[in-house]
Every structure is written in structure tokens, then in C-alpha cells.
Amino acid sequence: MNRIIEFENITKEFKILNRREGLKGSIKDLVSKNYSVIRAVNDISLSIGKGEIVGYLGPNGAGKSTTIKMMTGVLEPTSGTIAVNGKIPYKNRCQNARNIGVVFGQRTQLWWALPMIESLKILKDIYQVSDEAYKSQLALYESIINVKPLYNKTVREMSLGQRTLCDILAAFLHNPSVIFLDEPTIGLDVSMKSKIRHLIKELNARQKTTVILTTHDIGDVDALCERIIIIDKGSMIYDDTAGNLKKYFGAYRTLKLKIKGEYILSDIIQALELRFLNQTSMVVRTSEEWISILSKEDEAPIMEILMFMQGFILINDIKIEEINTEDIIKKIYEGNI
Amino acid sequence: MMKQGFRYYLKIYGKILVQNIKSKMSYRADFFISLIGIIFVNLSGFITFWIIFKNVPSLLNWSYYEMLFLYGFSLIALTPVQCFFDNNWNLLTYVFSGDFIKYCFKPLNLFFYYISEIFDIKGIGQLVVGITVLSYSWTNLGLDFSLIILVKLIIALVSASLFMISITNFAAASSFYILNSAYFVMMLSNKFKDYAKYPITIFGGALRIIFTFIIPIAFMAYYPSLAFLSNKEATFLTYFTPVYGITFFYLSYKFWMFGAMKYNGTGS
């Protein structure tokens, strides 16, 4: 397969000035040489092929932006080799920028005061897109979504959803080999989210554009990504298919119980802890009248928990749910796996 | 910047400019109010100037009309910074919020892309006032006029305009280096342009050197004007204005770009 992005043992360190408190401290800081080194990205190697949609996940501050900035040529790695389309991005930011597209969820890159179509025309010139390519690209957009009514609207007049949509269209205009989408659905309503997902999926399928998607919305991941990369504290902790995520992290299931009569949650948790002492991965929560117990099947089988619970409380109703991606990722972030 | 070619950038700037003007025109009320507004701001500045000179007939051998000449000259020379480089004023906000990063993703020169984004049409009002004041003083001083003088005047005005542009570049780019005090630097730099309207000779020795070489506001009106006023002697610095203007602009551009490269954006 055609490799679009190659990372080999990439590490990025930042020198941070240790700031002192108070006015006196900040005056001292002016001449301070008291730096500490922070490792934002630690020895990451990855390889992303043509046409892939990769969900790039990680908690806040995990190093996602830093990695993306290295891919886009804004940052130079401290060590390691990096290639985007076979070229080193930071060596020639402008050259690299011709082959990529970037969308930041809340920061539009279109001209604020201009109608959308005029922004597109300026981008056409910036990226030197030919007339035919430009026309066929617009035709492609029109065949996927109803974009025509937006052409003459200025970005300033658009809703956040419309703006994001236009930002995505603008990023795809010069048919780049890779697109970076940073939280494209943040702050959008359900129907707009699904529109945006549909758009990304279609454009990816028709143009074979590689998509790197960072998001905190697991809905995006479930809808779009075949492959997931998770980083935390600068290191890569998962790189595999989305389907394997569930298998990989064990068969987690949630047992939901509706209990008759009054109960004290802390008592139940305590009893469960006593009974399944070794189960650090078990999570007990309550929502309305349901108690939900998340547990790993091979450590504490659901049936066993159910039987145990029946021993001391009256159960009105039960539900068993498979773990969803969100719960798995939450557990990964919390370091329970 | 040169790799893409000058024509490429010129074409793109032209397109953005036309679109910007079109969109400004479409907010008609806003357009006229801001145009009239800036004319009034400059007129009131002019009235203050007039009142002072009704009481002080001349300042260090500078007559009323000669002072008016400087005033008009500086207004015209300050128009480009107002019209084309206004986005510098927003740089601090972009750097502070981390939004500046968005300018790094286009295959364009950073400085060009950033500056081209905003065109402030209000400067036109200032230009109108400036041209009026300059022509008025020009006729009253009985100065000659010919095509050659016009070309000289345009060269002088363009070179003079480079100084305020450069000072603004330096001030704005300071936000890349000293985020917390950059606002102060920007306010200060904006104050300097008021001093540009006076002959440098009114300042004492140390200030004169500073305003000539370090913060070269004396080049915004005083030195270039000497070439046109009949009873003033043009000095070496008068003819040095274009060279120094270009050099100073180049230095400010480098300072700006270096800051931008150093800047990595806040986390997001």
C-alpha cells in the first residue's frame, strides 16, 4: 500500500521556563536560565496508508496536537525521522502545505467577511487548482450535500455547523493526499454531526484521501474510523483496527440492575468489593433507578455477579450491555487496562 | 516568499483585496460611517493643530504652512499602515489564543498571508484629509509643481510609509516574544506616529538620535519633507530615506518571521 505518513521513533521535547510566583518572581524570570525539558511525544512510530481514515485519540494534553503539528510541518521533531508524501514536512512547510488540508473544529480558515464561493475561488488560486479540477470538485460536493445555498453566504453569517461543513469542503478543494480534521463535530447538533460524518466518509471514499481525525466524540470514531491510534502522555498505547479494540481489551460487559426498595449504594459497592476483591477493573455507577456494574468477563463473570447480588437484594429488572467504544477508551485513559 | 514568485503573490493579494473591498462596500452604512468617522478624527486633530498655531506663529523657524505640510505629509504616509497592515493589531490576540497556528497551514508566506487577510478601508478617509491638507499648504507656500516633483513626492511618501509599517511590524511581532507586555509595546508604538508630525529639531539631542536611528519616526515626515520645502536644506538623511526605509522594513519582516517560526501555538 501507498504510504502517506511515516513516523520513525519520533520524539519531541519542549524547553519550558520554570516560572516563579509573584511580581518579583516574574522579574527574575526575565533573566532566568532555569528551564526544564518536557517530553510531549515519546518515541512514536507509525505508518499511515493511502485512503485510510484514522481515529487519532488521546486525552487532553496527550500530545495529539504536537504530533499533528509535526505532520503539518509547523514543528520540527527533536529526534526521529518523519515523512509525509515521502518528503520531510518541516524542511519545507509551504511545499508540504500544498499536499495537505487542515480543519480545526472551531477556528475557521475561510475569509470571515467573504461569501463562501469567493473564499473557494481564492483558495483555487492559492493552490493553483486548474479550472476543470475546480469545476469537477464543486460538482462532487453538490452531489454529496446540498451546498449551493451556502455559496453566497459569508462565513460570518453561517452557523457553526455550516461553517465546519464549508471548512471541510475548502480543505478538500485542492484534492490533498491527507486531511487533518481536529474535532470536526465539536459543538454541533446531532443532525449536523451525521451530515459532516457522511461528507467526510463520501469524500474519503471517492477521492481516496487519507483522513487523520482527532476527536473526543466516540460517535465520530464509530461512524468513520477503521483504524484507531491512541496516545497518552506522549506514548502510543494502541494502534489497531477499531473492531479489535473491544477484543483487545477483553470482553467487558455492563450489568444493569433495577432494585426493589431502598438501598445504599456504598453498601452495595462494599459488598461487591469484598466478594470480587481482585477486580480492579470493575466500575459501579448509578443512573436514575438503575445500578450499572461494568466488569471484565474472565475476571468476574456477569452471571456470578448477578447470583451474588440476588443473595442480598431484590432485583426487579435486569439488562446486560456490551461495552461501547466510549467506555473502553475511558478505561484506557484512566489507565485501568 | 520568492520561490512562489512575485506575480503569484500579487495576483492572490489582488483577488483578496478586491473581495475585501466588495464585502466592505456591501455593509454600506458601516462603510460611510467609518469613512466619515476617520475624516472627523483627523479634522479634530487638525483643529487642535490650528488653534496652537494661531497662538504660536512659528516654531523654530517653521511657519504655519510648513508645519501644515509636515502634517499633511505624515497623514498620507500613515495611510498604507492603516489600510494594509491593520491585522498587525490583532496579532497579540491570535498569538494569545493559539489561533495563529491556522496561518501555518497554507502554502503561503506567513507574513503575507496574515497581513493580506484584513484590508481596512477607513484609511481612505485619512488619505483624503492628508491630500487636502498637503495641497492646501503646497499652494500657500507657493511651491513648484511638475511631473518630476510628483514622482519625487510619491517616492518620498512610499519610503516614509515604510517606517510606520516597520514600527508596527516590530511592535506586533513582540507578541511572539513577550506575550504579556506586547500590548504596552503596541500602544507605545502607536503614540510615536503623533511625534512624526513635528520637526525633529524641537527634540533634544538624545531624543533626536533615538527618533532618527532607533525608532526612526523622523523619517515619516520631517526628513523627506526637506526635499520639497523651498527655504529648508535637504540633508544626507533626506536622500537616505528610501534606502533606510527598505532596510528597516526588511529587518522588521525578518523579526516578524523569526518570531512566527519560533512560535509553536498553544495546545488545543
Q: Are A214 and A246 in contact (CB under 8 A)?
A: no
ipTM exceeding the 0.95 mark: no
Q: Is B107 on the interface with A (CB under 8 A)?
A: yes
pLDDT at A105: 67
* Cell (9 digits) for A56: 487519532
Q: Do A109 and B15 touch (CB under 8 A)?
A: no
Is A126 within 8 Å of B107 when comparing Cβ atoms?
yes
CB contact set of B92 (below 8 Å; sequence gap of 6+): B172, B175, B179, B182, B183, B186
Please report the pLDDT score of residue B1 as a whole number: 41
pLDDT bracket for residue A272 (50, 70, 90): confident
| pLDDT number for residue B2 | 43
> What is the identity of the amino acid at B110?
L
The closest CB to that of A109, out of B19, B102, B268, belongs to B102
Does the beta-carbon distance from B106 to A126 stay under 8 Å? yes
Q: Work out the burial of residue A148: count CB atoms within 10 Å of its CB; fewer than 13 is exposed, 13-18 middle, 19 or more buried.
A: exposed
Distance from CA of A217 to the nearest CA of B (A): 15
Per residue in A189-225, pLDDT tens? 889 999 999 999 999 999 999 999 998 888 888 889 9
Residues of A in contact with B18 (CB under 8 A): none
pLDDT at position A74, please?
A: 85
CA A319/CA B251 separation, integer angstroms: 70
Task: Please answer yes or no on whether B106 and A125 come within 8 Å at the CB atom.
Answer: no
Tell me the β-bridge partners of A321: A254
pLDDT at B125: 82
Residue whose C-alpha cell reads 512659528 in the numeric block = B58
Alpha carbon B236 to its chain's center? 22
Per-residue pLDDT tens over the stretch A5-39: 988 888 988 877 776 776 677 677 667 677 788 88
Residue numbers of chain B with a pLDDT score lower than 50: 1-2, 265-268
Chain B: nearest CA to A128, how far in angstroms? 10
Query: SS3 of A262, please?
Result: coil
A68, A212 contact by CB (below 8 A): yes
Q: Which of A305, A332, A307 is nearest to A250 (CA)?
A: A332
For strands A210-214 and A178-182, give the pairing: parallel
> Which amino acid, residue A147?
V
List the one residue out of A210, A204, A252 whose CA is nearest residue A46.
A210
Check: CB of residue B49 under 8 Å from CB of residue B176: no
Contacts of B101 in chain A (CB under 8 A): 69, 74, 104
| DSSP 8-class letter at A82 | E
Question: Which residues of B fall within a CB distance of 8 Å from A172?
Answer: none
Question: A146 versus A297: which is more confidently predicted?
Answer: A146
Q: pLDDT digit string (tens) for A44-95?
A: 999 999 999 999 988 888 888 889 889 988 888 989 999 998 889 888 888 8
Residue A130 has pLDDT above 90, yes or no: yes
Largest pairwise CA distance in chain A: 75
CA distance A87 to A216: 30
A113 closest CA partner among B130, B241, B107, B116: B116
> Number of helices and strands (H, E) in chain A?
12, 13
Q: Does A114 touch chain B (CB under 8 A)?
A: yes
Cell of A19: 516560572
Q: Cβ(A192)–Cβ(A161) under 8 Å?
A: yes
Crossing angle for the helix pair B6-26 and B28-55, nearest 10 degrees? 100
Higher pLDDT, B111 or A282: B111
Residues of B in contact with A118 (CB under 8 A): 19
Q: Which of A113, A127, A182 sits opposite B20 (nearest CB)?
A: A113
Q: Where are the alpha helices (DSSP H) in chain A?
A: 22-29, 64-71, 93-98, 116-126, 131-144, 160-172, 190-207, 218-224, 242-248, 265-275, 302-310, 325-334
CB-based contact, B117 to chain A, within 8 Å: yes
- Chain B residues in contact with A125 by the CB 8 A cut-off are 11-12, 15
Closest Cα partner for B164 from B97, B268, B104, B84?
B84
C-alpha cell read off for A151: 455559496
The CA angle B116-A165-A115, to the nearest 5 degrees, is 45
Do residues A229 and A238 touch, judged by C-beta distance below 8 A? yes
Mean pLDDT of A308-336: 78
E-state strands within chain B: none
Least confident segment among A155-169, A290-304, B240-254: A290-304
B267 with A61: Cβ contact below 8 A:
yes
Burial string for A320-335 (b: 16+ CB within 10 Å, else e) reads eeebebebbbbbbbee
Do B104 and A74 make contact, defined as CB atoms within 8 angstroms? yes
In this complex, is the C-beta atom of A92 within 8 Å of any C-beta atom belonging to chain B? no
Side-chain half-sphere of B94: how many Cα atoms within 13 Å?
Answer: 24
- Give the domains, in start order, of chain A with CATH numbers: 3-246 (3.40.50.300), 251-334 (3.30.70.260)
Please name the residue that has the C-alpha cell 452557523.
A159
- A125/B20 CB distance under 8 A: no
Q: Where are the beta strands (DSSP E) in B79-142?
A: none
To test the contact with chain B by mutation, choose from A65, A66, A70, A215 the residue with the greatest count of B C-beta atoms within 10 A, namely A65
**Residue B73: which of B138, B6, B7 has the closest Cα?**
B138
- Taking contacts as CB-CB distances below 8 angstroms, the residues of chain A near B264 are 14, 69, 74-75
Mutate to test the interface with A, among B27, B106, B111, B116 (most CBs of A within 10 A): B106
- The predicted pLDDT at position A279 comes to 63
Give how far Cα B217 sits from Cα of B73, B192, B198, B211, Å: 13, 7, 10, 5
d(CA A158, CA A150): 8
Give the lowest-confidence range in A144-153, A228-237, A309-318: A309-318
Residue type, A40: A
Cα A39 from Cα A78, distance rounded (Å): 10
> What pLDDT does A250 receive?
62
Q: Over the stretch A84-94, which tens digit does the pLDDT of each residue have?
A: 988 898 888 88
To the nearest 10 degrees (0 to 180), the angle between helices A190-207 and A131-144 is 140
**In the predicted structure, residue A311 carries a pLDDT above the cut 70:** yes
Rounded to the nearest integer, the mean pLDDT of chain A is 85
Task: Tell me how far the alpha carbon of residue A46 is from its chain's centroid.
Answer: 16
- A327 contact B CB<8A: no
Q: What is the DSSP string of A274-304?
A: HHTTT-TT-EEEEETTEEEEEEETTTS-HHH
Distances (CA, A) of A114 to A137, B119, B186: 20, 12, 28
- Using DSSP, state whether B12 is helix, strand or coil: helix
Pairwise CB contact (< 8 Å): B19 & A114: yes
Residues 8-47 of B with CB under 8 A from A: 11-12, 15-16, 19-20, 23-24
Residue contact B19–A118, C-beta within 8 A? yes
Chain A residues close to B24, C-beta within 8 Å: 113
